[in-house]
Copies of this chain bind each other. A is one copy, B any other.
Amino acid sequence: MFFASCDPDRENLSLYSNADGSWVVSLPAEEVPPELPEPALGINFARDGMKRGDWLALVAVHSDAWLMAVAFYYSAKFSADQRKKLFDLINSLPTTYEVLSGKGGKKMKVSVFVRKKKMDEEFFAGLFFLLAATRFE
């Protein structure tokens, strides 16, 4: 259970998404600077100082921000047009925060699809976050 895994007595923890769409609460990357943008650190420390709903919203908003960072980190070599296409794909789905707050349609599992796509003249790893929902609890 997400709530229990965020024990404030543990070290600094972050919520990571795996490429298969699952989420896991884990210690931060040991590598510094990290290979990829890192999600918000220490979400467990905030757990018991806030209303549960507010805390879940905070984690969801940080997770959405982090997914954008990862997507645009991977697409650093995209052209502006390619970035726009990527953004439109991401934006065609509700954010984690919207789903959590009931604005994003029915609850479902977060899915993250990574696919390669030929864009213009070059191959890039096209990272399409097909965000839907997550049941944190």
**Known contacts A33-B43, A45-B32: does B80 contact A73 (CB below 8 Å)?**
no
A21 part of interface (Cβ distance < 8 Å): no
By beta carbon, the residue of chain B nearest A72 is B68
A73–B57 CA distance with the chains assembled, in angstroms: 11
**Known contacts A41-B32, A87-B87: does B68 contact A62 (CB below 8 Å)?**
no
Residues of B near A91 (CB, < 8 A) are: 80, 83-84, 87
Q: Are B37 and A65 in contact (CB under 8 A)?
A: yes
A130 part of interface (Cβ distance < 8 Å): no
Instruction: Tell me which residues from 31 to 53 in chain A have a Cβ below 8 Å from any Cβ of chain B.
Output: 32-34, 37-38, 40-43, 45-46
Q: Are B34 and A37 in contact (CB under 8 A)?
A: no
Which positions in A face B, CB cutoff 8 Å? 12, 32-34, 37-38, 40-43, 45-46, 58, 61-62, 64-66, 68-73, 76, 80, 83-84, 87-88, 91-92, 94-95, 97
**Closest 6 A/B residue pairs (Cβ):** A32-B42, A69-B69, A65-B73, A65-B69, A61-B76, A33-B42
* 30 pairs from A and B in contact (CB 8 Å cutoff): A12-B32, A32-B41, A33-B43, A33-B46, A33-B58, A33-B62, A34-B40, A34-B41, A34-B42, A37-B40, A37-B65, A37-B66, A37-B69, A38-B41, A61-B73, A61-B76, A62-B73, A64-B72, A64-B76, A65-B68, A65-B70, A66-B69, A68-B68, A68-B71, A80-B91, A80-B92, A83-B91, A84-B88, A84-B91, A87-B87
